[in-house]
Amino acid sequence: MQGSVSLTSGFNTAIVNIGKIENKGIELQVGGSPIKSKDFTWATSFNFARNNNKVIRLAEGQNFMDMAESRTTVGFIQNRLGLPAYQVMVSDFKRDAKGNLELNASGFPQPASELTAAGTSIHPTTGGWNNQFMFKNFALEFLIDYKYGAVIYSGTNAAAYSYGLHKETLNGRETGISVTGVDANGAALTKTITAQQYYGALSNISIVQTYKADFIKMRSLSLSYNIPATVFKNKIQGLTLSLVGRNLFYIKRDTPNIDPEANYSNNFSTGLEYASLPSTKSYGLNVNVRF
């Protein structure tokens, strides 16, 4: 793939081996029928997968490799030596050696010059819980799935901060925001700035709009009715009518205003989001005829 190289070589990128990634994991699945009688059956299964990976080698002379960049230019995906693959790299608040917030002369918080690794954009923990309930000729089936351990940078929320559309920007609109920190010389500094100025500054500090991408989702649900062959005088073996729905709703999520599964179309840009559409719910009627 194309990787960034030192500008002293005379080139911006070069075709290089992406390196070596070590993966270690486990996958488990359990299932059974806790209830099984003449008229009623409950079948259930649960699966869990955990994959830990680490970048252990990149192209010669490189400690990191750029993979993707947010359209806001303040969020990135990188592979970095010693860390899990596809790190979401963002800017944190600029602070002095003592950890004090370093403000500019106008009292605005500033982004740090070095990027911070916020976490992997690939969920290391995934799984699902599938259930089927059968009562006489009726069947109800649903699948709940989950993903944990990844993070996502949201350009949508960054824009919402910038334009005052995020609910967090309601604070301080009438009174202003009092910001306390130090100036470039380390002297204590307290300034009151407008909410527009404050949240506009936060829109460029991308750790503020970086969230856990964990979620639990009702992935699919179906209700079926099986019409036996005797109704059709055995001319067919049977007919099943099913009402089905997919991507119905999130039971839990930590990403305000956006879908935690959103990302750009580029394969390497999972973990970066901007102006994404919600995932599409689908509903349908299935007809299954058995001859």
End-to-end CA distance of the chain: 51
pTM: 0.88
Positive or negative torsion for Cα 164, 166, 172, 174: positive
Is 211 within 8 Å of 254 (Cβ atoms)? yes
Which tokens is 254 given?
């930590």
Number of domains forming the structure of the chain: 1
pLDDT in tens, the chain (291 residues): 565 666 677 777 766 666 899 999 999 999 999 999 999 999 999 999 999 999 999 888 889 988 999 999 999 999 999 999 999 999 999 999 999 999 999 999 999 999 999 999 999 999 999 999 999 999 999 999 999 999 999 999 999 999 999 999 999 999 999 999 999 999 999 999 999 999 999 999 999 999 999 999 999 999 999 988 888 777 788 899 999 999 999 999 999 999 999 887 666 678 999 999 888 999 999 998 888
| Of 278, 111, 103, nearest in space to 209 by CA | 111
Burial pattern 216-242, b for ≥16 Cβ within 10 A else e, equals: bbbbbbbebebeeeeeeeeeeebbeeb
Render pLDDT for 174-193 as a digit per residue (tens, 0 to 9). 999 999 999 999 999 999 99
Domain containing residue 265 = 2-290
Q: Which two tokens stand for residue 266?
A: 């580029």
Task: List all residues 6 or more positions away from 233 whose beta carbon is below 8 Å from its beta carbon.
Answer: none
Among 33, 274, 43, 23, which residue's Cα sits nearest to residue 142? Answer: 43
